[in-house]
Structure 1
Amino acid sequence: MTMKLRTAILGTRGIPNYYGGFEHISEYVSAGLVKRGHSVSVYNSHNHPYTQDSWNGVDIIHCYDPEYLIGTAGQFIYDMNCLLDARKRKFDVVLIMGYTSSSVWGNIYPQGSAIITNMDGMEWKRSKYSKPVQRFLRYAEKLAVKHSQYYISDSMVIKSYLKDKYDVTSQYIPYGADVFSTEEREQYDAKEVLKEDYFLLMARMEPENNIDAILAGFNSSNSQKKFKVLGDTGNRFGKFIVNKFANDERIEFKGAIFDTPKVRSLQNNSYLYFHGHSVGGTNPSLLEAMGSEALIAAHNNPFNKSVLNTDAFYFSNAEEVKHLVENVQRHDFEKNMVMNNLHKIQSQFNWERVIDQYETFIVECYKNSNYERIIADQR
């Protein structure tokens, strides 16, 4: 029988997920661990829309978060508040999601808890950050390695990077995704979504997601199809992209859509789904597209290739995007690619397996920490 542990999850804005990747996985892992008999607490920003003290059996601890008052600096204070609270509660395991605003507080990480950090993607590579911010993120990564006892990588590429750069061994545990369900299939509006009548892209409006190259390639093509773009275009780069392609009536900016069945229907029914992400670990929206049975064209980089292997088309620039737009067919070969990716979700990236891997690793880390503590006490 597996031992039952008291685990805290820090480093996110909280659950249920209203924000992004780490919130998404924290939601699944926390509820999954509770179902397996563990006691789990998740730290939520006091500004989080969910105000109850428990969610699906998970204890919610609300901590003061001044980000709304002072911007990014508030994230650091919020993480400090969470860590100070966690010190008092003496958890068996503290799981920290990411390191951007928490690793600077490494000296106050709870003593006596096994400290595990999910190391995130190589954040310092993101071009949206200025050079000083990129330097700080490299430093934060180094501190996370120094102050954590155990590490999780959500990508084999990051696992190799951590080994090469810091000589640390991390546990590879990917994100998960659900398979597109029959109920979700029935929720789309046939007037809105004509089968395989459009190309699709879904991403945050940031340069490293290659949105400019994808849309420039489509813009120069002779395609008669539409190109739907999902994502909030309110930031500076988003406005630049909307303005740049304003004269192409085929390109439709749909804004951010948080209605999961609708997003998955759009993925499922697209002719070709473009995934331009080039930085970070295993991307949740890529796994979702695979689970939604989308045919995928992905930016040619090790992160995407380690997930998709030969079951996608790849591009590196606008010219290659144009070639795909004008030449990709939907025959048996392409249908096999779609089915192979679906099988990967069912076998490698399904949530039950991901939660099992988290549970096994958390228990192992706790046992190791306790053993090391006993040895230290005997000296």
Structure 2
Amino acid sequence: MKIAILGTRGVPNYYGGFEQFAEFFSVYLVEQGHEVYCYNSHDHPFQEKSFHGVNIIHQYDPEHKMGTFGQFIYDYNCIMDSRKRDFDIILQLGYTSNSIWYFLLPKKSIIITNMDGLEWKRTKYSKPVQQFLRFAERLAANSSDFLVSDSLGIQKFLKQKYKKESTYIAYGAYPFTNPDETILKEYGLEKEQYNMIMARFEPENNLDMVLEGVALNEDKTPILVIGKHQTKYGAYLKNKFKSHTNIKFIGGLYNLEHLNNLRYFSNLYFHGHSVGGTNPSLLEAMASKALVIAHHNDFNKGILKENSHYFSTAKEVKNILNTIKKNDNLQLVQNNFDAIVNEFNWEKINGEYLQLFEECFAKSDKRKQRK
């Protein structure tokens, strides 16, 4: 098949989750004998025309000049280029800035869209932006030939909201198997004598709730707060909890070896995300053998099932801090690690996507139109 991947800044990954998936999956498709094209921003650090056999198409992306609005122009440029290339399948990763151009997508290509999370629920967006994101979501759900959900919660939502079936294919992570306790010395920490939470500083990630629970608790075990906090919300949280010296705002941390070891040797790892699909940082925590304490919602429960302790209030966080220890919950830790190995591994996920492509290609009416 001749396949295109749209909706990311490009490969190899220099940005985030969709880019990482695009990198792994595009190379996998080439290894399986398919002709693959990935769209890259014109100013992507990788400027070659081929990446491990994946054809790279650079398109002008004015985001560096115009901010978020530039993404709409970049997606428009990618879609217009795709009209010239006779793709069998176009995989769209997300819908935020490309779904408004759905009517320009090539008519004979099969359009498969990964619907991402419920972006309109993010409180960082203004009301008008949230309304637009609802509109964009509806366009993508109704105009795509086939939909992919990366969480069971998103799959359920699409069925209820739009009466649309979607194929559930999760995200992936690599098992972490080489812990190095000496790294803790760089942070002044001891094994299982600290807790942590890692997230973007946004209200729906419930950092406030978790830290409120920490503040309510008499025990002063350190908690590392990892994430870029130079934001308005970050300033609010740092000011609110400035008297609690055990709450340590570390900032953004991008050294994966350090992150994996911090997760591995932590006592409790709080995951407060409440919006979106399968969150990559959750899978990475599972892969690092952290004991995950998760916000109670369908998205997290769909991944963790019964292998987590859940919270919905600051008081519940306080109670968990007082009663739960990693060393008493090693079976939950192992169950989550096994889930990464058996269910959320990249080879399996790549195979599930390719199987979906083959099934869509075999049964789509567009295939008949191409003959």
Letter in 1 for 2:17: G
Aligned to 2:202: 206
Is 1:92 the equivalent of 2:116? no
Aligned to 2:183: 189
Q: Which residues of structure 2 form unaligned runs of 5+?
A: none
Secondary structure (helix, strand or coil) at the match of 1:322 reads helix
Aligned to 1:134: 130
For 1:36 and 1:220, locate their aligned partners in 2 and report how far apart those are by CA, in whole Å: 54
Instruction: For residues 92-136 of structure 1, give each alpha carbon's deviation from its aligned partner in whole angstroms, at most 9, with x where no partner exists.
Output: 110000000000001101221110000111111111111111111
Aligned to 1:277: 273
For 2:220 and 2:122, locate their aligned partners in 1 and report how far apart those are by CA, in whole Å: 34
Aligned to 2:105: 109
Q: How does 1:1-379 map to 2 (within 5 A)?
A: 5-182=1-178, 185-186=179-180, 189-192=183-186, 193-332=189-328, 334-369=329-364, 371-374=365-368
Instruction: For residues 16-73 of structure 1, give each alpha carbon's deviation from its aligned partner in whole angstroms, at most 9, with x where no partner exists.
Output: 2222221122122112222222222111112222222222322221111111111111
For 1:24 and 1:166, locate their aligned partners in 2 and report how far apart those are by CA, in whole Å: 29
For 2:195 and 2:53, locate their aligned partners in 1 and report how far apart those are by CA, in whole Å: 40
Is the alpha carbon distance of 1:266 and 1:331 closer, same or farther for their aligned partners in structure 2, counting shifts above 3 Å? closer
For 2:234 and 2:12, locate their aligned partners in 1 and report how far apart those are by CA, in whole Å: 27
| Greater mean deviation of Cα atoms: 27-36 or 211-220 | 27-36
For 2:9 and 2:43, locate their aligned partners in 1 and report how far apart those are by CA, in whole Å: 9
For 1:154 and 1:202, locate their aligned partners in 2 and report how far apart those are by CA, in whole Å: 21
For 1:20 and 1:377, locate their aligned partners in 2 and report how far apart those are by CA, in whole Å: 35
Shift of 1:188: 5.6
| Greater mean deviation of Cα atoms: 277-286 or 60-69 | 60-69
Instruction: For residues 308-340 of structure 1, give each alpha carbon's deviation from its aligned partner in whole angstroms, at most 9, with x where no partner exists.
Output: 1111111111111111112212344x0000001
Letter in 1 for 2:107: Q
For 2:225 and 2:198, locate their aligned partners in 1 and report how far apart those are by CA, in whole Å: 6
Q: Which residues of structure 1 form unaligned runs of 5+?
A: none
Is the alpha carbon distance of 1:188 and 1:111 closer, same or farther for their aligned partners in structure 2, counting shifts above 3 Å? farther
Is the alpha carbon distance of 1:285 and 1:377 closer, same or farther for their aligned partners in structure 2, counting shifts above 3 Å? closer
Is the alpha carbon distance of 1:319 and 1:45 closer, same or farther for their aligned partners in structure 2, counting shifts above 3 Å? same
For 1:224 and 1:273, locate their aligned partners in 2 and report how far apart those are by CA, in whole Å: 16
For 2:180 and 2:57, locate their aligned partners in 1 and report how far apart those are by CA, in whole Å: 37
Letter in 2 for 1:348: E
Cα pair 2:293 2:308 within 8 Å, conserved: yes
For 1:38 and 1:61, locate their aligned partners in 2 and report how far apart those are by CA, in whole Å: 16
| Greater mean deviation of Cα atoms: 90-99 or 191-200 | 191-200
Is the alpha carbon distance of 1:330 and 1:181 closer, same or farther for their aligned partners in structure 2, counting shifts above 3 Å? closer
Shift of 1:350: 0.7
For 2:259 and 2:176, locate their aligned partners in 1 and report how far apart those are by CA, in whole Å: 11
Secondary structure (helix, strand or coil) at the match of 1:133 reads helix
Cα pair 1:188 1:265 within 8 Å, conserved: no
Question: How much identity, in percent, do the aligned residues show?
Answer: 49
Secondary structure (helix, strand or coil) at the match of 2:185 reads coil
For 1:312 and 1:253, locate their aligned partners in 2 and report how far apart those are by CA, in whole Å: 25
Is the alpha carbon distance of 1:246 and 1:57 closer, same or farther for their aligned partners in structure 2, counting shifts above 3 Å? farther
Letter in 1 for 2:237: I
Shift of 1:372: 4.7
Cα pair 1:187 1:262 within 8 Å, conserved: no
Secondary structure (helix, strand or coil) at the match of 1:191 reads helix
For 2:45 and 2:254, locate their aligned partners in 1 and report how far apart those are by CA, in whole Å: 15
Letter in 1 for 2:84: K
Shift of 1:373: 4.7
Q: TM-score, normalised by structure 1?
A: 0.94
Is the alpha carbon distance of 1:120 and 1:189 closer, same or farther for their aligned partners in structure 2, counting shifts above 3 Å? same
What is the RMSD computed on CA atoms of the aligned residues? Answer: 1.6
Cα pair 2:42 2:61 within 8 Å, conserved: yes
For 1:107 and 1:287, locate their aligned partners in 2 and report how far apart those are by CA, in whole Å: 36
Cα pair 1:187 1:261 within 8 Å, conserved: no
Secondary structure (helix, strand or coil) at the match of 2:197 reads strand
